[in-house]
Structure 1
Amino acid sequence: MSTSVENRGQFGSKIGFILSAAGSAVGLGNIWKFPGKAYNCGGGAFLIIYILMVVFIGTTVMLGEFVIGRKTQKNAIGAIRELNSKYTWVGGLGILTGFIILCYYCQVGGWTLKYIVGYITESSTIYADPMAYFTGNLLGADRFPVQGAIVYPIIFIFLTAFIISRGVSEGIEKMSKILMPLLFIVLIGLTIRSCTLPGASEGLYYMVHFDPSTINANAFLVALGQAFFSLSLGMGVMITYASYLSKDENLVANTGIVCFLDTMVALLAGFMIIPAVFATGIDPGIGGGFAFATLAGVFMSIPGGTIFGCLFYFLLFFAAVTSSTSILEGTVAFLVEEKGMDRKKTVVIVSIILAIIGFFYTMSQAHMDLKGIWISREGISHPIFGDFMEYLTDRLLLPLGALTTTIFAGWIWGTDNAIQEATSDGKYKFALAPVWAFLLKIVAPIAIAIIIIAGMFLGMSIS
């Protein structure tokens, strides 16, 4: 059973779609991974490489997903099946990937809420020992993590589910129109505050100084991986979002705007974090430990740091919820359209499953001896369940999903059909169509294959 095109939701405006798609692309990785990678890979030189990767690879793959979704007006699985039923599994791979990611993404989203409350009510406790607060109060290193694994993640999942249950225009679009402007306002404000700290000038110089000696193969690989993962590609999300667009929309222009907004968030995050860590002498890291523990030292060291910290976690929350709604929509759209399930019931069922699986993810981050979830070597606990989920999605399923989608769009469905859809059957000009076709068929698949090889077989951290 499937839902007809006439009964599907639609974005009510161009700005609604752009902010929703940008919200999906803008996630936690923009804010807590990009600054650390920019710092470790040469600052200004890395920024240039990163922008080039977004322009040539990111926009290519995103437009490839947009044209598939808008052409068919269906979810990721339905879209691929309509164009060529032999490759339905390509859409299924994307939805599966997004669901697994969402299981732990909602947990981390809950952590942002916990830290917002923490900075408002007990900032002195956080400052006393930031790492102990992260591993103990949040993750429950020495006790059951009720708040970090259950209470706050469930609140976050409820908010995400409520937005999705409202539908496309009343839920996703309205949420994006509110949260995305707020995200930019908070991010710009924090960036200005960071750049005006005593000693921040060294960080600013590092971010704009071009040093050719820092350009190497690793910098290109890291930039490529960051650009690719930052744009929410490979999960079928952009296929689903584009399916809610009318034929009057200029997909080429929209792709450029979405990628521009996502890149601006990453750059602003870099100019927010790097000057601050230079000013305080704290070495930037990458990932959750950096965002939830290390940065507390930065906030503690600057005037008005508690307000600064609280706003930062609001920023993380905005980024998390705009991404979580888009990923959940991909799964819900599939179940509603392909299986004939009621939308609100589907949201409830999926949310419960997310909460249960996500619970084990957070538990696996804590240092508790739970048989079957951890293994311990020489007294050190290893969160093999959580690590496996991240490794499976970041290094295998995400790039594999994007690779198969790109090959499908470029070789199976064909670039001629893709370009015809991208131009709305000739309504809009696409002067670079031959270049895009070459990038889609040749360059992007090779680049994505390199990501897979580097991440899985060379053991390089690219995500």
Structure 2
Amino acid sequence: MARETWATRAGFILAAVGSAVGLGNIWRFPFITAQEGGGAFLLVYLLFVALVGFPAILVEFVIGRYTNLNPVGAIRELGSGAWNYLGWLFVGIGFVILSYYSVVAGWFLRYTLIGVVDGYALAGPEEAGALFGTVSTGLDSLLFHAVFMALVIAIIAAGVRKGIEVGVKVMVPAIIALLLGLAAYAFTLDASGAAYSYYLSPDFGYLVANWTSILPAAAGQAFFTLSLGMGVMITYASYLGEDRNLASDAGVIVALDTFIAVIVGFVVFPFLFAAGIDPGTTGAPAIFVSLTSAFSGIPGGRLIGIVFFAMVGIAALSSAISILEVLVSYLIDEFDVGRVPAATAIGIAVFLLGVPVTIDLIFLDLYDGLASGVLLLVGSLLLVLFVGWLIPDVAREELRKGITSLGGLDDAWIWAVRVPVVIAIVVSLYLGIVDYADFLTGDFADWLAAR
């Protein structure tokens, strides 16, 4: 069957930004920033995005556009032998990430509904914690996990132009508008000054003492939020024409994604400081407890809470469709399966993989630690080695298309991919593996022993 393409450049950029701007930016970024020291983490994260994230996203772009195939087919066309299995790694990573991503996104949908029906007038953190326990596990969590996956399947089934492109043209501008509005409101809170100081002033002493945890956290967050290492950008670039300037598009996507991530901090931290909540105590579950407690204690908190949780739900949807598209494009390209049955079958499989997360939150840590701390970095490392050392001439030629003059930047990009990017990923991967091994032998082992 004929392969679909993007109708407009804006559609591609918004789709790529929508993939990047999701739970990674609005849910994961604030609590990782808080756990890793505020401004110290922000500084390392921004450096990693600029020096590693930008070259790495171009790696995926050149592969996708050159082959016009899904990650499995793309790597098979360009490589040989053991390299052919690299595409399968991306498919596996997508399955793992989307399975728990959908569960967490379902929480945001549920919290939006709670705000509309009951509001967030809770007596304190204990009541907020009890509410999260109800939402995050059990039938509530399972139901909204199913609802979210059904929405993702419906958009992907509609196709690239009528589904993904139309959806992101509405969702991404809405996300940006809502974020800016919330940031403007947060600026008026009395605690905003202290929050900005915590967020924007790096403690270099803390950074030096804790770099072994900050570096892998920043690397994992950068790759997670830019949708790298899971084949998304290969897939999206496969729908591009040869007249597109890949370097320019990559720059816009990385800049918009990073801008939105930074703005999220200007929203979340003032709310936490206004409620007297130590941001360092937040975490994947605790940010829900913290924010609902914060919304219950500020003027207009109910409306602000509804807007915030709805915005994150929209952002999660824009990211989830990109991950499912990787998996669906594989079935379409390789087996000529129709888009609707492909989206439905894979969506159901992803839903089933996510069910354990609705039963116990230990599986969220198990899945997320493996995906963000290990698999994304492994996938990205192998891909930059593949492009930088095995097919550099193909990569240079593809990058030059649609660009009047690179002035030698194509050679500089290849050498950046070959050496400093590889070194940064290897160090981050090593530290990430150590952290995940500690989790498996610590918290997860204790959980198993208690069963």
TM-score (norm 1): 0.88
In 1: Cα distance, 2:402 partner to 2:302 partner? 54
The letter for the 2-side match of 1:345 is P
The letter for the 2-side match of 1:443 is P
In 1: Cα distance, 2:31 partner to 2:107 partner? 20
In 2: Cα distance, 1:168 partner to 1:109 partner? 22
Question: Are positions 1:418 and 2:418 aligned together?
Answer: no
SS class of match (1:235): coil
In 2: Cα distance, 1:171 partner to 1:345 partner? 15
Partner deviation per Cα, 1:28-83 (whole Å, 9 max, x = no partner): 12123323343455544543332221111000111000000000111111111111
Q: What are the equivalent positions in structure 2 for 1:7-406 lying under 5 Å apart?
A: 7-86=2-81, 87-124=83-120, 129-136=127-134, 138-140=135-137, 145-149=138-142, 151-209=143-201, 211-216=203-208, 217-218=211-212, 219-284=214-279, 285-365=281-361, 383=362, 385-406=363-384
The letter for the 2-side match of 1:274 is F
TM-score (norm 2): 0.90
SS class of match (2:391): helix
CA contact (8 A) 1:411 1:441 kept: yes
Q: CA RMSD in A?
A: 2.1
Question: Are positions 1:445 and 2:445 aligned together?
Answer: no
Partner of 2:445: none
The 3 A distance-change label for structure 1 pair 64 and 386 is same
Partner deviation per Cα, 1:337-388 (whole Å, 9 max, x = no partner): 10121110111111222222222221122xxxxxxxxxxxxxxxxx3x4443
CA contact (8 A) 1:161 1:348 kept: yes
Shift of 1:104: 1.4
Equivalenced residues, count: 432
Q: Which moved more, 1:424-433 or 1:151-160?
A: 424-433
Q: Which moved more, 1:53-62 or 1:420-429?
A: 420-429
CA contact (8 A) 2:120 2:295 kept: no
SS class of match (2:240): coil
SS class of match (1:148): helix
In 2: Cα distance, 1:184 partner to 1:461 partner? 38
In 2: Cα distance, 1:272 partner to 1:461 partner? 33
| Structure 2: 5+ residue stretches without partners | 440-451
Shift of 1:213: 3.5
2:409 aligns with one of 409, 423, 432: 432
CA contact (8 A) 1:420 1:426 kept: no
CA contact (8 A) 1:126 1:133 kept: no
Shift of 1:326: 0.1
The 3 A distance-change label for structure 1 pair 461 and 428 is farther
Percent identical among aligned pairs is 37
SS class of match (2:348): helix
The letter for the 2-side match of 1:359 is V
In 2: Cα distance, 1:409 partner to 1:286 partner? 39
Structure (1/2) with the larger helix percentage? 2
